[in-house]
Amino acid sequence: MLSIIVPCYNEEATLPLFVAAVEQVNETMQEPLEYIFINDGSTDKTLTVIKSLYQKYPEKVRFLSFSRNFGKEAALYAGLKSAQGELVTVMDADLQDPPELLPDMVHLIRQGEYDCIGTRRTDREGEPKIRSFFAKTFYRLVNRIGQTEMVDGARDFRMMTRQMVDAVLELTEYNRFSKGIFSWVGFKTKYLSYENRERAAGETSWSFWSLFKYSIDGIVNFSEAPLNIASIIGGIACVGSVVALLFIVIRALLFGDPTAGWPSLVSILLFVSGMQLLCIGIIGKYIGKIFLETKRRPIYLIKETEKDIEERKTIQN
């Protein structure tokens, strides 16, 4: 069986299109499917739409509805946890992840050479230029300073074997950065490329600012390099100050000491204290992560699933 995990946040407009598209693709594939929709605290009628899909396909639709918005990462984790298929796919609801790739992915993964078939966009068509620039910079940076490789343009859209899903589920951290986690667990991944697509309907839930914060999370969760910034800057400052001191002493001995240099002193002071604050801020970021991690809070809370509907039915009878 193939499980398809779909995190949904305000996707009332796209969900029916999504299921129709996948069903159409599956007519040629004839694979037993299981849809797992995760309603991530949507504020529109997403849950109603999911329930009507459940009425329509009760044997293959399952859903989890969160008690509030926990974010896509939490939704993915919840979906992976409840998936029963021996192949598991993660897909967005907005049809930016083309279902036409599914037959190829199933075919490739069944050959047994790969444990995971990922997808990547070859271009960033239809995306603001500035966003593409920052995305590229992020991947360059994170691959240079982190040990976990992240592929530029790789989507969360991927198909995994049961073995890899179980491995991903063993990472129970609270601060989840899926792109990093999928890469960290290892296994053999093949990437299929496709051209970028626009959303079928609805709106993206990512603002520029939220993406920026997400990228910082990506770095902090998978690299300790920023923590070394303080030591590096401190080292450079030490060496620099010794050189400067020698220079000043020698100059005073040779040419006397006309008192000057107040502005340069203030600039240096400001620069050094700024650096100190920056480094404390970086350390604070990691401590914040540790703080949240030590609380061991659940990654998500479920309010309702399809089992509740069944239960209600049996009570009524």
Question: Who's near 289: CB < 8 A, 6+ residues apart?
Answer: 175, 220, 221
Using an 8 Å Cβ cutoff, are 16 and 90 in contact?
no
Of 4, 53, 64, 75, the one binding ligand UDP by CB under 6 A: 75
Q: Could you give the CA distance from residue 184 to residue 176 in angstroms, rounded to a whole number?
A: 12
Q: Could you give the CA distance from residue 105 to residue 191 in angstroms, rounded to a whole number?
A: 10
DSSP classification of residue 100: G
DSSP classification of residue 289: H
Find the binding residues for ligand UDP in span 26-55 (CB under 6 A). Answer: 40
Strands (E), 259-308: 302-305
Residue count, binding to ligand UDP (CB under 6 A): 16
Find the binding residues for ligand UDP in span 249-268 (CB under 6 A). Answer: none
Nearer to ligand UDP, 9 or 77 (CB): 9
Query: Closest Cα partner for 182 from 212, 154, 214?
Result: 154
Residue 92 CB, shortest distance to Mg ion, in Å, is 5
Determine if 205 is a binding residue for ligand UDP (CB under 6 A): yes
* Contact letters for ligand UDP, residues 81-110 (x by CB under 6 A): -----------xxx-x--------------
Work out what residue 182 binds among ligand UDP, Mg ion, none; the CB cut-off runs from 5 to 8 Å by kind. Answer: none
Work out what residue 7 binds among ligand UDP, Mg ion, none; the CB cut-off runs from 5 to 8 Å by kind. Answer: ligand UDP
Q: Could you give the CA distance from residue 19 to residue 188 in angstroms, rounded to a whole number?
A: 29
Work out what residue 93 binds among ligand UDP, Mg ion, none; the CB cut-off runs from 5 to 8 Å by kind. Answer: ligand UDP
Find the binding residues for ligand UDP in span 5-24 (CB under 6 A). Answer: 7-9, 11
Q: Give, in degrees to the nearest 5, the angle at Cα 16 between 116 and 109.
A: 15
Nearer to Mg ion, 40 or 92 (CB): 92
Q: Could you give the CA distance from residue 160 to residue 67 in angstroms, rounded to a whole number?
A: 28
**By the criterion CB under 6 A, which residues form the site for ligand UDP?**
7-9, 11, 40, 69, 71-72, 75, 92-94, 96, 204-206
